[in-house]
Structure 1
Amino acid sequence: SGFSDALDWRPLLFQEAVIAQSACSLCGVVSRKAVKLSCAHAFCSDCHEDCVEQGSTCPLDRESFSEDDLIQLDVSDGYLGKRRVACWNVFSGCSFVGPVAGLLDHYKECKFHVVSCPRCSSSVLRSEIAGHCRNDCRVPPAKEAPTCSRALLDYDHIEKASDDLKQAMLKTSEDLMFLQTSLNQCCESVREGERRSTERLEAHSSALAEQIAGLAALCRTGFTEDRSVLDRVAVDIRNAMEAASVDSKLHFTQELCSQSERLVAITEQLFKSVRVCCGPEALHWYLEGWAGLKLRAFKSPQKAQSPPQYTSGYRVSQLIQLHKDGGRLRFGCFLEIHPGENDARLEWPFGKTFTLGILHPTDRRKVISCEEDASLSENKLPFQRPRDKHNRGYGNSFLTTADEIESGGFVRDDTLHLFLRLEP
């Protein structure tokens, strides 16, 4: 494409194998501008642009590439015009083989154009249609194929085509067997994933039930103790006031203030205990495919983003990043703010304290996390009200390393449990 209106997007029957080096390995188009990757595949400009948008990876062999690895393949009009091609009517008997520059002129004068008979609908050469109809649509005798021109009818080529067809059928059979094996593996993976999801759901349900029971017990115990202390203080004050003389009432008033301060302190302690147990609402994200993500990160930096969710009215998501630093992989965790339906009623810029981190799958006391106060950040851009898309992430670019995550037992069934919590 990109050469002329007459030839663009028309199939050409090239007779020279060298032209294949300039053809796109994906769409087969020979274009004016093309690039060749380090893996030896060539792409036209459109396919190359699409590959870059999909992560700079060759779709044929999954190898990554950079712009520095590309070799520019420029095809000029003169070069293309000299390449030898067969006529489009080669299957009708035309023996023309010549340069691309002369193909159109020949095609206009070619004697092997085929038309459909209006009476019997059979395909007949245009130059013979009149005689065909005069002879009551009897098929004329087959002409002897030229010995040098109509190579497609040559026995050797027919035999070669037959061998190629056999090889293609054999490869198709092998591909079908491979697809059947892949399908069986996929079904097994689905069943295994279902089993893991069921186990994880049961574990979380059990943990949630324990937390609810603990919260109820804590509330009952805390408020009972609080009420008991209040009753004792009230009885002591009433008895003391009844037995006291006028001169000693000042002393009892001071004692009352002391008891009141004690009661306030106990109530505040109870509130803190309930807050620690319940905590503000947390968003949970189960990142699957940890092993594959880590393997790709040794070649190029990798990112993963959770689905956006609402908390405290804000629509937010979590972003993690893995990139190589020497012989280790650095793990970063960030908060991203998305446009939401409540934005007009929320406070901007975002100024809450938030916590990002990783939860241990079995021991809830083991946590890798960081706390950030958005109101103290000098960089306010990530916390402005988002408009068309989510803001740039803000968090800790070096929360931990991949080795520390795995050695700490935070990976289970190739899954990482991450959380995000906003303080009220």
Structure 2
Amino acid sequence: MLLCGHTFCEPCYESCATTSESVCPLDGDICGRDDVSTKEYPAEQLLRRKVHCWNKVYGCGVILPASQIAEHVRDHCQHHATCCPTCSAAVLCSDVCAHLKTRCTQLVLHTAPEPQPREDDNEGTNLEALAKMMKQQVGELDAKLARLSFKADSLSDKLSEICINNNDFKEALTAHFVQASGRNLADMKAIYSEKSESLMTAITSALTLVSSDAKTHQRVIRGYAELKEKASKDGRSESMSDKVYLRRYLMSWGIVFSKDGEGVGLSLRIELYEGREDDFLEWPFTKQFKLSVIHPETREELDRFATPDSSDYLRDCFCRPIDGSNTPIHFSHETRIESSDLESDGYVDRDQLLLRLEVLL
């Protein structure tokens, strides 16, 4: 291939090359021998290149792959030149009859026909070349197929090996994940249990601390009529709360219904218990109590106050508890409220009383 882009076979190139340079016979471009590149074209590639019909000089404009030119010239081309049997002039085969009708005066080819190879020779040569080429290609294909078959067998073996290794890897990975997941779940469960326990302890401590510092406690006394009736018959009845922390003191408080003459009244009852913060509290207990009965509709409060007595006979009621709890104290006079007053003023609602105890500073 020359620099100008034209390509020639080796014999044609040698005919137009000098000692140090080559001249393109098509456009006259000059290039050095070092600028000429040699390329090898397989026979099948050359036969695919398109060429002009051999009868181009006689007017055939067909362009076909080189492998199809012989068939075209033999079976389809209408531009073969032949000699007139009368005047020996060069005439196209398709024009012979018309030429004879004009008494050999028209349709004469003025361009001398180039020597054409005999069709039989061309056909035989082409068939021989084609057979040789096909035989060569078949041999090459056989060799390539053999190599491909060998490679396919090797690839099949490698693929089988990869599949086996992949299955082994998947099984090992699955077992590892199962084992790791089990360990992780166990670790997470232990951590969760530990953290949950710590959190619950902290929450309980916080709630206890908050609740122990409360100063009021509110409760509902249910069964008012029954408590009053029992006091009327037996002289006394009571309703006590659970233990609660008020001002950090642990205590239980409630209401005592007692009969006085013909009437029944209620009053405050207190009992102090050992608590977890007793070491940090003042003893004996000296804080004042405030008992409130709350109206269910108006929210008005009926209040009574009680102050611990420091006299000797009541000291055991307000000193620091030692054996679980102290002797309960009943503020029967200072906190007494007559049941008739509660009923007439509307504090009793649906057989219930709403009470609140506050420990004052």
Q: TM-score range by the shorter chain?
A: 0.3 to 0.5
Using the size of structure 2 for normalisation, the TM-score is: 0.37
Structure (1 or 2) with the larger CA radius of gyration: 2
Higher normalized contact order (CA 8 Å, seq sep 6+, divided by chain length)? 2
